[in-house]
Amino acid sequence: MNEKNSQDGLKDLLSTREVLGIICYGKHHNNKMINCSRLSEMLKIPVNRLKEVSIKLEEMNVAKVHKMGQDIELEMLDNDNDFIKHAIDEVIWENKQEYGKIYKKFITAELLDFMEENK
């Protein structure tokens, strides 16, 4: 029963807007390392909230936190664990509308950055 509660807790955590943003950013940019400050800017989520969630992900062995001065970078470990990979895919599917909104924010932010660079 404890394993079932652990799985439910993992899915609940993965379903939060913050973690969906982390997952989306990692998949969209195909990056292993995800900078919390950059993600905070793009999603308009407080960086402290992202740091808290990152620590929870590390405690659940879903990610590894790398401290970079005041900031942290997050390394997702989904490629190392089939259970985590499956849980992430399931959460993306179950939350496809929210995930789509987050993805749209990333695309929009990148477009605006691109347009600013070409002025």
End-to-end CA distance of the chain: 58
pLDDT (average), residues 79-107: 89
pLDDT (average), residues 93-101: 94
Domain ranges for the chain: 2-108
Within 10 angstroms of residue 21's Cβ, the number of other Cβ atoms is: 25
pLDDT at 6: 67
Q: Is the pLDDT of residue 1 over 50?
A: no
Q: Is the pLDDT of residue 116 over 50?
A: yes
Q: What kind and span of H or E run contains 104? A: helix 96-117
pLDDT at 17: 92
Residue 61 half-sphere exposure toward CB, CA atoms < 13 A: 7
pLDDT (average), residues 55-63: 90
> Which residue did the predictor score with more confidence, 90 or 112?
90
Within 10 angstroms of residue 52's Cβ, the number of other Cβ atoms is: 12
Q: What kind and span of H or E run contains 10? A: helix 2-14
pLDDT at 3: 53
Nearest to 14 by CA among 5, 22, 2: 22
Structure tokens at 50: 């992202």
Rounded Cα distance, 99 and 101, in Å: 5
* pLDDT tens digits, 3-52: 554 677 888 999 999 999 999 988 887 767 888 988 888 888 899 999 99
pLDDT (average), residues 59-71: 88
Structure tokens at 58: 């590390």
Q: Tell me: domain 2-108, CATH 1.10.10, correct? A: yes
